[in-house]
A = this chain, B = another copy of it.
Amino acid sequence: MIDPDSDRPAYRQLADKLREDILNGTLPPGAALPSEERIHQEVGLSRNTIRRAIGTLRQEGLVIVDPPRGTFVRMRGPEKLVLLEPGDSATVRVPTPAQRRQYEVPEGVPALIVERADGRLDVYPADLTRIQSSEPPPKKK
Nearest chain-B residue to A125 (Cβ)? B92
A84 proximity list for chain B (CB < 8 A): 84, 131-133
A104 proximity list for chain B (CB < 8 A): none
In the complex, the answer to whether B136 meets A135 with C-beta atoms within 8 Å is: yes
Among candidates B59, B92, B95, B96, residue contacting A108 with C-beta atoms closer than 8 Å:
B59
Number of A interface residues at 8 Å Cβ cutoff, please give it: 37
Nearest chain-B residue to A139 (Cβ)? B87
A61 at interface, CB cutoff 8 A: yes
> How many copies of the shown chain assemble into the complex?
2
Query: In the complex, A134→B87 CA distance in Å?
Result: 9
Restricting to A86-141, which residues have a CB under 8 Å from any CB of B? 86-97, 108, 110, 112, 117, 126-127, 129-138
Query: In the complex, A91→B55 CA distance in Å?
Result: 22
**Can you list 7 pairs linking A and B with CB atoms under 8 Å apart?**
A12-B97, A59-B59, A86-B137, A87-B137, A92-B127, A117-B137, A133-B133
A37 at interface, CB cutoff 8 A: no
